[in-house]
Amino acid sequence: QSALTQPASVSGSPGQSITISCTGTSSDVGGYNYVSWYQQHPGKAPKLIISEVSNRPSGVSNRFSGSKSGNTASLTISGLQAEDEADYYCSSFTTSSTLVFGGGTKLTVL
């Protein structure tokens, strides 16, 4: 199972919005509404911020939103804040009944 494709890095200024893409295939992202997004700060464990394409777990800021079109899912962060600077990973359920992750995107808040 090949990793999902994410941009290596994105950046934005405080207050702006950014979008991170996550591209897979019809065997994973395109085949199921089981795309999740995780935030990982340096030296910390990943934290679930979006599940099932667009659902936010309790306690996650509504500045985070998710969507999907075809084989590509997207994470949008609005009103960027310094604390949003982190690595972001997408994942998807697959036709093999396994999970596959993206390569990760480093978000820099300028």
Distance between CA 55 and CA 81 in Å, rounded? Answer: 21
10-69: contacts with other proteins (CB under 8 A): 32, 34, 36, 38, 45-48, 51-52, 57
C-beta closer to other proteins: residue 80 or 104: 104
C-beta closer to other proteins: residue 13 or 58: 58
Q: Could you count the other beta carbons within 10 Å of the beta carbon of residue 13?
A: 9
C-beta closer to other proteins: residue 40 or 72: 40
Query: Residue count at the site for other proteins (CB under 8 A)?
Result: 25
100 binds other proteins (CB under 8 A): yes
Q: List the structure tokens of 23.
A: 């591209």
Q: Is 82 exposed, middle or buried (0-12, 13-18, 19+ CB in 10 A)?
A: exposed
